[in-house]
Amino acid sequence: MNRNLFPAPALLVLLLSSIPLSGIAGEYADQRLTLETLRQTYSDPDGQVTEIGGVEVYYKDQGEGPAILMIHGSRSTLRTWDRIAPELVDRYRVIRYDLPPHGLSGPVSDEAAERLEPAGFTAGLLDHLGVDRVTCVGVSSGGTTCMYFAAAYPDRVNRLIMSNSPSDPVRTDHMTFTPEFAKALEEFRETGFESEHFINAFLDYYSGDPRRISVQTRREYYDFNRRVTEANSTALIGIVEDHQKARTAMAGVRAPALLIWGGRDALLIPAAAGTLAGYLENTQVSTVFMPDVGHYPPLESPIRFAQIVAAYVEAATPVDFN
């Protein structure tokens, strides 16, 4: 099996977006969920919907105090932060949103995809909320989105926190799949549908300890990743495939940066944290390793993750060198 083909989370999104609808319509069409169905199932009183640049975005804005913006990864939703936000809202304003067209956010039209980009969309949401400055926290490609935002809007980011985020175009030839995940990937290639078996194998593979991924989280991943296929699924996701653009942005970050790294990440091994730190060459970078955790530290160890975030926010004060 070609190990460069399927396993990386962001690459899988790109692959999904390229599969012809006819290839996934028939047998699995009745198992897909519409946005309306997902909103009926998963909306709650704390969630709100607004329109930014002609795109509906579902978000939560909770607590008071200095603002912390949390951005999920490419195959996830704002529920990534469900067990972290409660640890912070007693002293911070915690803002999180579903990256369109994922989660409970609306579709992204071709026109919007041409006009919008991740950093500007994020700025638009903060403008809507009347928030000038944030600590931006992101996991996986959510960290990349935070990085682009910090580079494009340096006056709006107090601190940058990235967790298991790529610095270079993702390679997967160093990865060894478990038999179960290899089987699930083959099934996905044949059907274009992410079954419960696939989701469970995916989460198991990318976890340091699969037992930490709750039944509820697994169900949510399954439901949200069988949403009716949307166009422009990666338009508002921060990616590093244009490496020159990404390197320029990383060098442009001025906010103090913290890397929180799951040491058992099969994709972005610990050395990747050092590479990312090196590319953030014009700011102060600190790194905290969580040696027993995989690609998604907020899912596996939310309390520890929240404690690290809070400690850094309280200790790292931006320095004005002018």
For position 117, what pLDDT does the model report? 97
* Number of structural domains in the chain: 1
Residue 3 belongs to some domain of the structure: no
Q: Is residue 101 a part of any domain in this protein? A: yes
Position 251 in a domain: yes
% pLDDT > 70, the chain? 90
Structure-token match 């946005």, residue found: 35
DSSP run (H or E) holding 194: none
Peptide bond preceding 101: is omega within 30 degrees of 0, i.e. cis? yes
Provide the pLDDT for residue 10.
53
pLDDT of residue 317: 54
pLDDT number for residue 236: 97
- Residue 322 inside a domain? The answer is no
Angle 196-205/215-224 helices, nearest 10 degrees?
120
Helices 35-42 & 215-224 angle (0-180, nearest 10): 160
Angstrom CA distances, 55 to 13, 44, 114, 128, 143, stand at 19, 20, 12, 13, 22
Output the domain CATH number for residue 259. 3.40.50.1820
Whole-number Å distance between alpha carbons of 174 and 250: 25
Query: What distance in Å separates the CA atoms of residue 202 and residue 196, rounded to the nearest whole number?
Result: 10
pLDDT tens digits for range 158-183: 999 999 999 999 888 889 999 999 99
Note whether residue 128 is domain-resident.
yes
Predicted local distance difference test score (pLDDT) of residue 276: 98
**Pairing relation of β-strands 285-290 and 257-262?**
parallel
pLDDT in tens, 178-235: 999 999 999 999 998 999 999 999 999 999 999 999 999 999 999 999 999 999 999 9
pLDDT of residue 243: 92
Parent domain of 50 = 9-18+26-314
**Does residue 1 sit within a domain?**
no
Q: List CB contacts of 163: < 8 A, sequence separation 6 or more.
A: 137, 138, 139, 140, 143, 259, 260, 261, 262, 297, 298, 305
Asked if residue 320 belongs to a domain, the reply is: no
Q: Is 26 exposed, middle or buried (0-12, 13-18, 19+ CB in 10 A)?
A: exposed
What is the pLDDT, as a whole number, of residue 28?
A: 85
The region of weakest confidence among 56-60, 72-76, 102-106 is 72-76
In this predicted model, which residue has the larger pLDDT, 322 or 202?
A: 202
Total-model pTM = 0.92
pLDDT at 65 exceeding the cut of 80: yes
pLDDT surpasses 50 at 321:
no
Higher-confidence position of 241 and 213: 213
State mean pLDDT over 5-19.
45
Task: Look up residue 86 and give its DSSP letter.
Answer: G
Residue 212 lies in a domain: yes
Rounded to an integer, the average pLDDT of 238-266 is 96
